[in-house]
Structure 1
Amino acid sequence: MVGLETKTPSSNFIKNIVIEDLEAGKVQEIVTRFPPEPNGYLHIGHAKSIVLNFELADEFKGRTNLRFDDTNPVKEDVEYVESIKQDVAWLGYQWDGLFFASDYFEQMYDRAVLLIRKGLAYVDDQTPDQIRESRGTLTSPGQESPYRNRTVDENLDLFTRMRNGEFADGEKVLRAKIDMASPNVNLRDPIIYRVLHAHHHNTGDKWCIYPMYTFAHPLEDAIEGVTHSICTLEFEDQRPFYDWVIRECEMPATPHQYEFARLNLTNTVMSKRKLKLLVDEKVVDGWDDPRMPTISGLRRKGYTPEAIRAFCREIGVARSYGIVDERMLEHFIREDLKLKALRTMAVLQPLKVVITNYPEGQTEWLDIENNAENPEMGHRKIPFSREIYIESDDFMETPPPKYFRLFPGNEVRLKGAYFIKCEEVIKDADGKVAELRCTYDPETRSGSGFTGRKVKGTLHWVDANHAVPAKFRLYEPLIAEDDEDDSQSFLERINPNSLQVQEGFVEPGMKEAAGGDKFQLFRHGYFNVDPKDSTPDAPVFNRIVSLKSSFEV
């Protein structure tokens, strides 16, 4: 297994390209960029790109820009800009330059004018549907627009008037003039500008025409001097247009685009559109709901940047499509927390136990290790008195064979405390078990040197007189099947058990826990104190991951 802070991924063909380019003198300094569109929050798939771009440049002493591709004001918002900046910084990276596509709108306009003057762009009056229908198919060529042969002067005039706001949305577009018979549909006169009367988060109302992403993106890379423009495989067919834009717009720098396979996780929604739908339809509690695979959701759930970075390095960078088991991500958070998280006790489904032979009114404070795997974390004191809580499923009135927990007449060890024996079962009016009456053996206290008889069962517990009431949120995947199946409506496939809330108790020391503190609760898993909903008097714990998995790296 790769160490959590080892910066060498399992495979990275792009790194090999960088090495070759440097050795051949093709580039002098590596410049990469992470270019999100500010139309939603980042998810775990973006983390893979962040780690790749920042660590690749860092390894070769280059630079990485954070650039917002904000060319569609209808879907963009300052909220998304700020969340992206926060996520990148939380993952542990600092950008060398912070830019916006909108910083270059004037330069992009000038390059579009250059294309018109070269006879390589024209204004089209067709509707979006007409343009779509005339582009042809993978097996048949497209049909030329009736406006394709407008004169340069006419196109310049119309494009100027588009900028001046003389036309309604969708009334006219500017298209690149390339080849309507090209086998690559992306070269069949793609739209490069559209009329859009919308307020922009960065430029206000200065513009009413906006460049298309596929036109703006290569220009941004060239303006910033990006050497290796790294994107996912769905942009591979766009690379010829990317190169065409750089060449025909006569950009002084010549970046190159390289594609890698995007991250796909089992049982995980990886579509930003679908994630936004979950938020808009209030299926989840916002973008940072711990069930969301967003970076902010993973952070609120309790994932650490170290675990996410290690996961991204381990999956590597390849060109072949594949699906990663979600248990692999869970493996890395376990590996990160096993030496960091304080071991503590909590009861999620409490059943009261009265120890009848323990002195009334007495409380003793028992010494217990904070983390048996990390002695440096020391010890703590926990209270023990006549009344405690155990998990209700740690008791059975009529147990099956080889049941080693508590049942009438059986003896178990309380973790860090004493042996207790069940003597009596108290039931409520409905016949349900309401309370257990037990006795304890005062000679069997943990750590006292007791070497007598053995018991097979050890139970966790919480002292009833000092316990702090708490809520525990337990999670399952939002989609309980691979998200590639679109045979049903997306919202119809939401897992109704994706969130389950249980109310129980934690040790009194947990009252001091702050939002973001992480603990291993015995038998239940790793938990994070919810940074939004938790208070000292009413702590809320999000389960990050269960304790064990069969997955191995």
Structure 2
Amino acid sequence: MSEEKSLNFIEEIIEADLKSGKYQSIVTRFPPEPNGYLHIGHATSICLNFGLSKRFGGYTNLRFDDTNPVTEETEYVESIKQDVAWLGFEWKNELYASDYFEQLYGFAVKLIEKGFAYVDDLSAEEIASLKGSHTEPGKDSPYRNRSIEENLRLFSEMRAGKYKDGEKVLRARIDMAHPNMLMRDPIIYRIKHAHHHRTGDAWCIYPMYDFAHGQSDSIEHVTHSICTLEFVPHRELYDWFIEKLEIFPSHQYEFARRNLTYTVMSKRKLLQLVNDKHVDGWDDPRMPTISGMRRRGYTPEAFRDFCDRVGIAKRENIVDVGLLEFCVREHLNKIALRRMVVFDPLKVVLTNYEEVLGEVEMLVGEDNPEDPNSATREIPFGRELYIERDDFMENPPKKFFRLFPGGMVRLKHAYIIKCDEVVKDEAGQITELRCTYIPESKSGNDTSGINVKGTLHWVSANNNVTAEVRLYDRLFKVEDPSSEEGDFKDYINPNSLDVVATVYAEPALKNARMDDRYQFLRKGYFTLDTKDTYGRLVFNRTVTLKDGWAKEQKKSS
């Protein structure tokens, strides 16, 4: 029996809370702002929050932090829901911070009534100028000591639309000399005359994230509010609001953000890549977005395995993208259907193979040799075949186990063949190989007694389907483009996409489905493109069969 995996620090906290009777069950939440597409960093948070409620009993809410109408769109809401569901998780409640706008407004009124909030007429620039520094205390706003009655009136007028954007804000009254800069009378409401994707024009004042977040957690009785490390300074304010409002004491816990090598995780930088046309949208298969990686052929199982292997910690670090690629190879090796596809064809003519008029010899191949219950498919074989051009060398070096003049190889699922003659055009380019096949060497029934070291994939020259393949590689040339000098876009890998306009595939691929995963023998793992097929088959390479990146980097250095 294998040892149970040790608990991470958040799991230890939850286990202690349950044992002490502090909570009977736990409630977590995943609270994205619908202002962009989710990326693999969000996948870590999704797996963590949903995984905790699954492990310890309880549930997870999906709550959209939609408090900024200027940047939020329904398109992003739908994409986020699709991503979470695709990862294999079910939320108990689909909620929105906007569901609580009336309640949050009431909380703000309560703070005013208790003397803990005031309306300020200063501009954003003036507020910033009075904030002080880490070594100097801030200065009070001249409007800080307005009466409760005046603040209630002004706040009501803000809601009624009497004032323009930026003309007034509501601030918490805490301490302008507080060592935590976020506690120096933070803004909790601002005026924005903007159409909201759910509430329309019903509101023209909107709560700030720091005010909406903790109170939304409290309303939902979230027991463990899990954030990334940049929110550590916000925890004190989170607790202050809950204490002053005397509401359910949700508590915030932080874990380290996980960055990935050879990419960027900033929504702002990802948006630049999209807007500047360096990529083909948010779901470009080179993007670290969940939708992009899904289009590239990554599987939810591989994502979950990666997040589990990476775990969570209290210190930020960069995770090698090679680990993610390893996880996807591991899963695809188990599920991918094997198919033969020739990218750069060289014709082979079997001079001693006689085709019966109107008949095609159908050979049999396993769909997946890793699966004991794998189905099989038929593969047409004939006198004329295609092999990969680089599987033949006229003057091979030692230990070249592919085809050469006088050499013999096995064709996968078929026969052993011998190269007898090389045909060239007037320019000296090889156009055709004339070979003989060994009839007694048929795969699965080989009585020839001949042993060969090389096995090649192939397709029938007269019975195949054509397709386009897109070979995706890492988007950046350097491990951490954000830390390099200059513009991060200067480090984009110019070879991150190579399009092979026409490849030749066995006919079984004609029935390819979007949800299927394929291993093109000796080429890599591929999936049918979900977006851009133009009426023809287009396949995206998910990942190579082996990690060749390190070797290529050494060559170029």
Structure with greater contact order relative to length (CA < 8 Å, sep ≥ 6): 1
Q: Does 1:40 align with 2:36?
A: yes
In structure 1, the residue matched to 2:409 is 412
Q: Does 1:160 align with 2:159?
A: no
Letter of the 2:523 counterpart: H
State how far apart, in whole Å, the 1-side matches of 2:543 and 2:413 are: 24
State how far apart, in whole Å, the 1-side matches of 2:79 and 2:411 are: 45
In structure 2, the residue matched to 1:382 is 379
Q: Does 1:334 align with 2:351?
A: no
Q: Does 1:478 align with 2:478?
A: no
CA deviation map 1:357-389 (0-9, x unaligned): 222556311122222222310322211111111
Letter of the 2:526 counterpart: F
Query: What 5-or-longer segments of structure 2 have no aligned partner?
Result: 550-557
Instruction: Give TM-score scaled by structure 2 length.
Output: 0.93
The question of whether the paired residues in 1 share the 8 Å contact of 2:257 and 2:316 is answered with yes
More deviation in 253-262 or 141-150?
Answer: 141-150
In structure 2, the residue matched to 1:284 is 279
Q: Does 1:424 align with 2:421?
A: yes
Question: SS of the counterpart of 1:484?
Answer: helix
In structure 2, the residue matched to 1:347 is 342
Letter of the 2:198 counterpart: N
The question of whether the paired residues in 2 share the 8 Å contact of 1:10 and 1:314 is answered with no
Change (3 A) 1:294 1:62: same
Change (3 A) 1:73 1:428: farther
Question: SS of the counterpart of 1:471?
Answer: strand
The aligned runs of 1:257-268 (5 Å cut-off) are: 257-268=252-263
Q: Does 1:315 align with 2:310?
A: yes
State how far apart, in whole Å, the 1-side matches of 2:203 and 2:485 are: 41
Q: Does 1:146 align with 2:145?
A: no
Change (3 A) 1:275 1:429: farther
CA deviation map 1:135-173 (0-9, x unaligned): 222232223223222222332222222212222222221
Query: What 5-or-longer segments of structure 1 have no aligned partner?
Result: none
State how far apart, in whole Å, the 2-side matches of 1:27 and 1:277 are: 44
State how far apart, in whole Å, the 2-side matches of 1:394 and 1:134 are: 72
Question: SS of the counterpart of 1:32?
Answer: strand
State how far apart, in whole Å, the 1-side matches of 2:436 and 2:388 are: 18
CA deviation map 1:217-242 (0-9, x unaligned): 00100111111101111101100000
The aligned runs of 1:23-102 (5 Å cut-off) are: 23-102=19-98
Change (3 A) 1:454 1:222: same
Change (3 A) 1:383 1:174: same
The question of whether the paired residues in 1 share the 8 Å contact of 2:438 and 2:448 is answered with no
The aligned runs of 1:374-523 (5 Å cut-off) are: 374-428=371-425, 430-481=427-478, 482-502=480-500, 503-523=502-522
Equivalences, count = 544
In structure 2, the residue matched to 1:527 is 526
State how far apart, in whole Å, the 2-side matches of 1:271 and 1:496 are: 21
Change (3 A) 1:215 1:546: same
Letter of the 2:100 counterpart: Y
CA deviation map 1:63-99 (0-9, x unaligned): 2111000000111000111111111111111111111
Change (3 A) 1:349 1:11: farther
State how far apart, in whole Å, the 1-side matches of 2:487 and 2:426 are: 46
In structure 2, the residue matched to 1:545 is 543
Change (3 A) 1:41 1:9: farther
In structure 1, the residue matched to 2:123 is 127
CA deviation after TM superposition for structure 1 residue 31, in Å: 0.8
Change (3 A) 1:359 1:550: closer
The question of whether the paired residues in 2 share the 8 Å contact of 1:341 and 1:519 is answered with yes
More deviation in 65-74 or 242-251?
Answer: 242-251
State how far apart, in whole Å, the 2-side matches of 1:196 and 1:519 are: 50
The question of whether the paired residues in 1 share the 8 Å contact of 2:297 and 2:526 is answered with yes
CA deviation map 1:190-247 (0-9, x unaligned): 1111111110001000111111111100010011111110111110110000001111
Instruction: Give TM-score scaled by structure 1 length.
Output: 0.94
CA deviation after TM superposition for structure 1 residue 486, in Å: 4.7
CA deviation after TM superposition for structure 1 residue 424, in Å: 3.0
State how far apart, in whole Å, the 1-side matches of 2:484 and 2:101 are: 38
Letter of the 2:443 counterpart: S
Question: SS of the counterpart of 1:339?
Answer: helix
Change (3 A) 1:63 1:422: same
Q: Which of 202, 211, 223 is the equivalent residue of 1:215?
A: 211
Question: SS of the counterpart of 2:514?
Answer: coil
CA deviation after TM superposition for structure 1 residue 354, in Å: 2.0
CA deviation after TM superposition for structure 1 residue 407, in Å: 2.1
State how far apart, in whole Å, the 2-side matches of 1:432 and 1:122 are: 83
CA deviation after TM superposition for structure 1 residue 414, in Å: 1.1
Change (3 A) 1:396 1:103: same
Question: SS of the counterpart of 1:336?
Answer: helix
CA deviation after TM superposition for structure 1 residue 451, in Å: 4.6
State how far apart, in whole Å, the 1-side matches of 2:270 and 2:455 are: 43
State how far apart, in whole Å, the 1-side matches of 2:426 and 2:104 are: 77
CA deviation map 1:414-439 (0-9, x unaligned): 11112222233333454433332222
CA deviation map 1:251-300 (0-9, x unaligned): 2x110000011221111221122222222233222222211111111211
Q: Does 1:247 align with 2:246?
A: no
More deviation in 199-208 or 389-398?
Answer: 389-398
Letter of the 1:334 counterpart: R
In structure 1, the residue matched to 2:555 is none
The question of whether the paired residues in 1 share the 8 Å contact of 2:482 and 2:488 is answered with no
State how far apart, in whole Å, the 2-side matches of 1:550 and 1:477 are: 12
State how far apart, in whole Å, the 1-side matches of 2:439 and 2:299 are: 42
State how far apart, in whole Å, the 2-side matches of 1:290 and 1:520 are: 18
Q: Does 1:225 align with 2:221?
A: yes
Change (3 A) 1:245 1:471: same
More deviation in 155-164 or 79-88?
Answer: 155-164
CA deviation map 1:390-444 (0-9, x unaligned): 1121122232232221222322211111222223333345443333222222222
State how far apart, in whole Å, the 1-side matches of 2:154 and 2:484 are: 43
The question of whether the paired residues in 1 share the 8 Å contact of 2:518 and 2:525 is answered with yes
The question of whether the paired residues in 1 share the 8 Å contact of 2:224 and 2:250 is answered with yes
Letter of the 1:494 counterpart: I
